[in-house]
Each structure stands twice: as structure tokens, then as C-alpha cells.
Amino acid sequence: MQVYSMQSKIKSLTESIVNTFVGMCISFIVQVLIYPILNIEVSINENIIITFVFTIVSILRSYIIRRIFNKL
């Protein structure tokens, strides 16, 4: 019989940030490759802003979902 312990809020947040940071790096690279193929003109600075905004949203989403599942 396995006993599962709940993850602390700090561990949930840390996992969320690490997971999202990796996703952010992949997303940035994919955007740099895909935007020109789709003829979407975005500067590197604009691409960084787009990636940053979606990263913040992703961290919050991941953290909230993790906390909900921990309570269930």
C-alpha cells in the first residue's frame, strides 16, 4: 500500500516554474522558426514579450491546477 503525501505550496510553485521555464524556452525557439514560415513579422523583442506573457499565464495555470488536484 502506497501512501502519498501532499506537495507543499512552495514545491508546487517550484515545479510549476521549472516546467514552465522549459516550455518557455521551447516555445521561444519554435516561434522563431515558425513565424517566418507563416509570414508573421515579429521582432525578437516582441517575441520575448509574447513568450513572457504566455509564460506568466502558464505558471499561474499550472500552479492553480496543481493545488486543486492536491486538495482532491
Name the domain count of the chain.
1
Amino acid at 10: I
Evaluate whether 50 touches 32 at the Cβ level (below 8 Å): no
Q: Is position 1 within any domain?
A: no
**Does residue 15 belong to any structural domain of this protein?**
yes
Where residue 52 falls (left for φ over 0; alpha for ψ -120 to 50; beta otherwise) is alpha
Give dist(CA 40, CA 22) in Å, integer: 24
Considering the domain boundaries, does residue 53 fall inside one? yes
pLDDT of residue 46: 93
- Domain boundaries, position 54: 9-71
Mean pLDDT, range 23-30, rounded to an integer: 90
Domain-located, residue 4? no
30: in domain: yes
**Can you tell me the mean pLDDT for 10-28?**
85
The set of residues, in sequence order, having a beta carbon less than 8 Å from that of 19 and lying 6+ positions away, is 62
Does residue 19 surpass a pLDDT of 70?
yes
